[in-house]
Amino acid sequence: MNENYAKLLENKDIKLTAIRVLVLKIMLNFTQTFSLADLETELVSVDKSTLSRTIRLFHDHRLIHSIDDGSGSIKYSVCSEDCNCSLNDLHVHFYCNYCKKTFCLKNISIPEIELPEEFAVESVNLVVKGCCERCPKIATKLHD
Ligand SMILES: [Zn+2]
Ligand SMILES: [Zn+2]
Ligand SMILES: [Zn+2]
């Protein structure tokens, strides 16, 4: 098992350390996106500055991508193995207004957006907001 984590790190040119393997393992345990605070809760034994440094390193090496879902806390998710975080690799994210979770919709790519002349796109952050598959009950209650 640990070999898999090591391979993921090596694929992205990240030097192996015990902490990095541990952090990656916890990141992969999240079924949806996670925030720095989520990681801190899971990894109380690791100090906070090490955690934020590790996140930054993983992000710089494109092992994880970040999502600004407008909630005030940046979310992260581990990239697919073949992701280079280029425009073609980007996918839509979904923020649930009810459980406040942010989902990666990895199979839905960002539609091409036609920009006015002389405007060049460098990144796209497309977050769709609504009700996730698990929350319809709460939603109907609120709207009744
Ligand atoms: Zn990526
Ligand atoms: Zn939800
Ligand atoms: Zn994502």
Q: What CATH number is given to the structural domain containing 56? A: 1.10.10.10
Residue 130 CA to residue 111 CA, distance in Å, equals 19
Instruction: Measure 144 CA to ligand 3 centroid, in angstroms.
Output: 33
Radius of gyration of the chain (CA): 17
**Alpha-carbon gap, residue 33 to 27, rounded angstroms:** 9
pTM to 2 decimals?
0.89
Q: Which ligand minimizes its atom distance to the CA of 139?
A: 2
Ligand 3: distance of its center to the CA of 17 in Å? Answer: 25
Give the tens place of pLDDT for each residue, 69-113: 999 999 999 999 889 898 888 999 999 999 999 999 999 999 888
- Count: domains in the chain: 1
- Report the alpha-carbon distance of residue 121 to residue 87 in Å, rounded: 9
- Report how far ligand 3's centroid is from the alpha carbon of 75 (Å): 9
Query: What is the per-residue pLDDT across 33-71, written as a single tens digit (0 to 9) for each?
Result: 999 999 999 999 999 999 999 999 999 999 999 999 999
Domain range spanning residue 87? Answer: 2-143
